Structure 1
């Protein structure tokens, strides 16, 4: 882009966001982006709404690395909003862009600064800081949530594959069919916010740990990530939900567009969009805060959801109930959808989570697949004494699914399926495939949708469970929810 184009971009930002929108600027050579640079840039980003970084071109004194490489390094930093190469005098650039703030390191505070005169002419300010000494490298934090850096090399279970005579050719044929599937996901939308903190120490007033935020990241969660996984795995995906009329809803719609999910979102002014905040430090969650309402949606919204389903049911291959028990799936709506699905011979699967909330997965009857945790299964059958296999059988007898994947965290997954002649239940187990999970959130969602799509593509329950376990392992190997891709699953299965 030319200097005029950079100026036009900044002017458009000001026009769109109003006079209170603060633009900050940092400039330099940036031969090597070291922690000192990161501290300064993080400080600058915290002082403004939009951070522009100007990278000196190759003619500037002290430059050691080609300009394009230096620019790429700066662009890769998440809290830099805009960066470009300086092709004219710095003061002329400042005069053209008119940033509200120019931020420089403390070492420049007691020396002449050529920016001062031009800033004073239009009321801009010059700030000096070397950033925060407690700063944790953002790049290291973000590596936890980058699937390309955090994966993979999950464990395998060759004995399981041998027992069920499964080969990589089986997996390849199944995954190839994912792109032919039409999937509808219905359930609660959740926005997951991860607030990574540095620990300052222990308060002297009371025994409280004091932290300061370093990085805030938001991810689509709940049934929203189930739909996003489905599209990432190749399916033509529709998502139906209800949320509030707020910023989280607006941001979520943008994310669904980015992910390629066709989202139909009913608005309920009586509830906020569910927001779950996790305060984390050193890879551990310190505190969770949930902002939500749990009452059932009204009849009008129930009718809207049902009508959306009814319009599409003839073209669907799979219906996924992803229930978090925050009111989007009242029993009357579930019963109507199941009745129509059975009439149309539609494959239906369900998960109903009971973590901080109370749910009952057995209310989803006659499903192709149920995916409860051990606790959720025991809550449904109200029996905390029977063994694992007995718990799965009692759940099956209560709500009549074809298959159950009962997840047990680090202990893996119990697979319960009815024998083809319906004479007895067959059982097997898969271990957890990820040895060093970074974040357990979303493991079950990844397993549910991947295993369900495999079944819809013609897989056996054993093949589906294995593929689902791989997907679950990929999910827990990163921090925060990001849509799975079929290429990731292929890689972990050794299929290329």
Structure 2
């Protein structure tokens, strides 16, 4: 019998709160949680989702140490691994439990969890399928007619993106979403008390920008600074999975930026950021410049993805802009200012900058002028050729040189029912800049970027956009 090992088995069509509480109870009952997922053959008609997807969903939860498919009987699996404890839901306590015989054979224990949420994965599947949402993404027909943009021309631009050589540099971030169950109010002080059920991590910051570019077909080289920690290794694994060639320079004096969001019932209760905002030391700056310089020798596009956490010191930015300009590369910059303060105008001579309205006004210290004046002013301040001014639910304002003259137009938000706005700006940045690099004009590239953002906000989690997703919307 393996001391400290706890075993749970089931079909797991969709991981609902009842499953998460069961797994949390099991994990708290021992040191190592092993989960057996019934194969399609064993589950029979109870399997409504293919076994590979059910197994992958269970494996992705941080609380699970090991998961495998059960293609024989559950009792055979129990006898083989001999866990110290086997856990089932409380609703099984008064029923026949064949697992009891298996655990008795080697001296194990059968436990029943408490606090079960009584509904099934099938209930969730049926409920979700019953809600047939209408198509929420709509192309801006008036804009396309006004600017001579067609679905065919956009599809052609996407086909040209394959094997584009892209260099991305910026701040690496790991985003962790921690789902919690509310327990109530503390009696000692007015504090909400929760218990964590599960957590999921995503690469964020400039790392997801690099992943978006690779997913759209580019050959990507990514450069950043990370700490010597678990989050850095997570980033390396994820970047490798997304086919991003990466060089992450280790700075022992700082952690990899980790942003944790504690959520309950669809609401964020608290955000905790583990980070250092000071600039990286001069030796690391020199290493970054040297590495990126070599990568720029045969590249088409340089993307600065700045979150103002210290990776992009001004000396680094200035040297890389000079290198990229000499190599006749396209230069695109985004500098985010949410809880931190940034300045998009410090990225000089860019072909495109993509600030929000707030970020542009911060850079200009201008809270009064209209949008067109702000767009023009931030372009002149940054010595940029064009700007995509992000306006949230109002879409984007495109402003730039068309021949000798400056021109302006607006694309409305294309998704009428967004689910999660996280990552919209990253998608827009990548799709717009890659389209521009393969020959798109300001209107074509802006529309492709807006379409990518519309697809991204239609799902939960910042995951790489694909060409097939864009082509599907253009084929509608």
Deviation string 1:140-190 (CA, Å, 9 cap, x unpaired) is 79x99xxxx999641221000000011111101100011130001000000
Out of 345, 352, 356, the position equivalent to 1:373 is 356
Gaps of 5+ in 1: 1-10, 12-18
Out of 105, 111, 124, the position equivalent to 1:118 is 105
For 2:86, the equivalent position in structure 1 comes to: 102
Out of 153, 158, 172, the position equivalent to 1:189 is 172
SS at structure 2 position matched to 1:272: coil
Q: Using the TM superposition, name which of 78-87 and 483-492 deviates more.
A: 78-87
Take 1:252 and 1:400, find their aligned partners in 2: how far apart are those partners? 34
Tell me whether 1:75 sits opposite 2:55 in the alignment: yes
**Counterparts of 1:272-311 in structure 2 under 5 Å?**
272-311=255-294
Q: Using the TM superposition, name which of 270-279 and 363-372 deviates more.
A: 270-279
Contact 1:446 1:468 in 2 (8 A): yes
**Counterparts of 1:289-438 in structure 2 under 5 Å?**
289-421=272-404, 424-438=405-419
Take 1:398 and 1:366, find their aligned partners in 2: how far apart are those partners? 10
Take 2:407 and 2:216, find their aligned partners in 1: how far apart are those partners? 29
SS at structure 1 position matched to 2:105: helix
SS at structure 2 position matched to 1:285: strand
**Counterparts of 1:121-140 in structure 2 under 5 Å?**
124-130=108-114, 132-133=116-117
Deviation of 1:476 after TM superposition, in Å, equals 1.8
SS at structure 1 position matched to 2:328: coil
TM-score normalized with structure 2 length: 0.87
For 1:26, the equivalent position in structure 2 comes to: 8
For 2:161, the equivalent position in structure 1 comes to: 178
Out of 134, 138, 142, the position equivalent to 1:155 is 138
Take 2:192 and 2:44, find their aligned partners in 1: how far apart are those partners? 44
For 1:84, the equivalent position in structure 2 comes to: 69
Take 2:298 and 2:118, find their aligned partners in 1: how far apart are those partners? 55
Deviation of 1:244 after TM superposition, in Å, equals 0.5
Tell me whether 1:246 sits opposite 2:229 in the alignment: yes
Take 2:326 and 2:123, find their aligned partners in 1: how far apart are those partners? 52
Distance 1:182 1:442, change over 3 A: same
Deviation of 1:304 after TM superposition, in Å, equals 1.4
Distance 1:372 1:46, change over 3 A: farther
Deviation of 1:296 after TM superposition, in Å, equals 0.6
Distance 1:315 1:41, change over 3 A: same
Distance 1:191 1:32, change over 3 A: closer
Take 2:270 and 2:452, find their aligned partners in 1: how far apart are those partners? 27
Contact 1:296 1:328 in 2 (8 A): yes
Deviation of 1:278 after TM superposition, in Å, equals 1.5
Deviation string 1:177-231 (CA, Å, 9 cap, x unpaired) is 1113000100000001112233344445544443333331111100000000000
Distance 1:131 1:46, change over 3 A: farther
SS at structure 1 position matched to 2:295: helix
Distance 1:232 1:306, change over 3 A: same
Contact 2:227 2:254 in 1 (8 A): yes
Gaps of 5+ in 2: none
Distance 1:362 1:136, change over 3 A: farther
For 2:247, the equivalent position in structure 1 comes to: 264
SS at structure 1 position matched to 2:156: helix
Contact 1:416 1:427 in 2 (8 A): yes
Contact 2:37 2:54 in 1 (8 A): no
Take 1:259 and 1:234, find their aligned partners in 2: how far apart are those partners? 11
Deviation of 1:94 after TM superposition, in Å, equals 2.9
Take 2:434 and 2:40, find their aligned partners in 1: how far apart are those partners? 51
Deviation of 1:428 after TM superposition, in Å, equals 0.5
Contact 2:171 2:225 in 1 (8 A): yes
Distance 1:152 1:447, change over 3 A: farther
Take 2:88 and 2:268, find their aligned partners in 1: how far apart are those partners? 34
Matched residue count? 463
Distance 1:479 1:160, change over 3 A: same
Deviation of 1:57 after TM superposition, in Å, equals 9.5
SS at structure 2 position matched to 1:429: strand
For 1:486, the equivalent position in structure 2 comes to: 467
Take 1:205 and 1:226, find their aligned partners in 2: how far apart are those partners? 45
Deviation of 1:77 after TM superposition, in Å, equals 4.2
SS at structure 2 position matched to 1:315: coil
Distance 1:97 1:152, change over 3 A: farther
Contact 2:40 2:51 in 1 (8 A): no
TM-score normalized with structure 1 length: 0.84
Task: Name the Cα RMSD after superposition.
Answer: 3.4
SS at structure 2 position matched to 1:290: strand
Deviation of 1:312 after TM superposition, in Å, equals 1.9
Tell me whether 1:466 sits opposite 2:453 in the alignment: no
Deviation of 1:68 after TM superposition, in Å, equals 10
